[in-house]
Amino acid sequence: MALILKGASVAMLLNGEVAVIIFGGMIAAVLSSYTMADIKRLPKVMKVLMSNEEPDLNGTIEKLVELSNIARREGLLALEAPVNELDDPFMKQGLELVVDGAEAEQIRDLMESEVDAMETRHHRMSGLFKTAGATSPTLGVMGAAIGLIGALGNLSDINKLGPMIASAFVATIFGIFMGYLVMIPFATRLEAKNEEEVLLKTLIIEGVMDIQAGHSAKVIEQKLYAQIPPEKRKDSEE
């Protein structure tokens, strides 16, 4: 927009050759660095990045407290019916193990292994965006160099020289834009989303373990609320 206001033409900015160099180069860098399994996750990851939905930390704690009351009052086997109705598959999986009588250490290991696997996936996808972001500015410089070579090859036509040089530097601007204003922010946002998801699953793990241990609902509630930022607690919203 700033360039257009300064007099640059839209046609100059919408340069197909520049797009091929930048996007083609980024795609090549990503394909050579990551597996097809990672690439296939991109649509799902983009959907997460575009969403402003946050994990329901308060609702999760309330559900765990509710289930702990049932377990304390009626026993762990009484959790079978309410657990089957849970929407959260991670919480459901953990509490099903509790109802089945699995050992505490085994339950924690299984649940933490799932969180570790999730973090590994998220870090790989974040790294994918960082790779694209780090490559993009360099590709912009390459595009500018290619454009300047073309311009210097047409020194005989002075009228075309200026526009060709200007067009060459569009590649640099576009490369920097894609790297530092698109790809790197995507990576940062994905890391923030990962932290939110890890916090949610950590609350679930601790809640499930406390329910199995027979801790009181009040103790569980206070313990779990202590783990989330004050501004995200229910009482701060009221």
Query: Is the separation of the CB atoms in 168 and 148 below 8 Å?
Result: yes
CA distance to 65, 85, 148, 203, 212, per residue, from 209 (Å): 12, 20, 64, 10, 5
The per-residue pLDDT for 142 is 87
Q: Is the CA virtual torsion 104, 105, 111, 115 positive or negative? A: positive
* Region of poorest pLDDT, from 8-12, 15-19, 46-50, 227-231: 8-12
The per-residue pLDDT for 150 is 73
The per-residue pLDDT for 172 is 87
DSSP labels, 135-150: HHHHHHHHHHHHHHHH
Q: Is the CA virtual torsion 58, 59, 64, 67 positive or negative? A: positive
**Nearest to residue 150, comparing CAs of 159, 139, 161, 140?**
161
The per-residue pLDDT for 7 is 47
Residue type at 115?
A: V
What DSSP state is assigned to residue 228? Answer: S
Please name the residue that has the structure tokens 């109705």.
85
Say whether pLDDT at 130 is over 80: yes
Say whether pLDDT at 128 is over 90: yes
**Two tokens, residue 110:** 């299984």
Q: What is the pLDDT of residues 18-29, one digit of tens each?
A: 778 888 999 999
CA distance to 14, 95, 184, 196, per residue, from 230 (Å): 47, 27, 29, 14
**Can you tell me the mean pLDDT for 21-47?**
93
The per-residue pLDDT for 162 is 67
How many of the other CB atoms lie within 10 Å of CB of 10? 8
% of the chain at pLDDT higher than 70: 87
CA distance to 49, 90, 182, 193, 228, per residue, from 53 (Å): 10, 18, 20, 10, 17
Say whether pLDDT at 231 is over 50: yes
**Model pTM?**
0.83
Q: Is the CA virtual torsion 200, 203, 208, 211 positive or negative? A: negative
Q: What is the pLDDT of residues 134-190, one digit of tens each?
A: 999 999 888 888 878 777 777 666 666 666 777 778 888 889 999 999 999 999 999
The per-residue pLDDT for 5 is 42
**Can you tell me the mean pLDDT for 60-79?**
95
Q: Is the CA virtual torsion 119, 56, 102, 68 positive or negative? A: positive
Q: In 3-state terms, what secondary structure has residue 100?
A: coil
Q: What is the pLDDT of residues 73-111, one digit of tens each?
A: 999 999 999 999 999 999 999 999 999 999 999 999 999
Residue type at 204?
A: I
Round the average pLDDT of the chain to a whole number and report it: 88
Q: What share of the chain is helix, strand, coil (3-state, %, to 5)?
A: 85, 0, 15
The per-residue pLDDT for 147 is 78
The per-residue pLDDT for 15 is 63
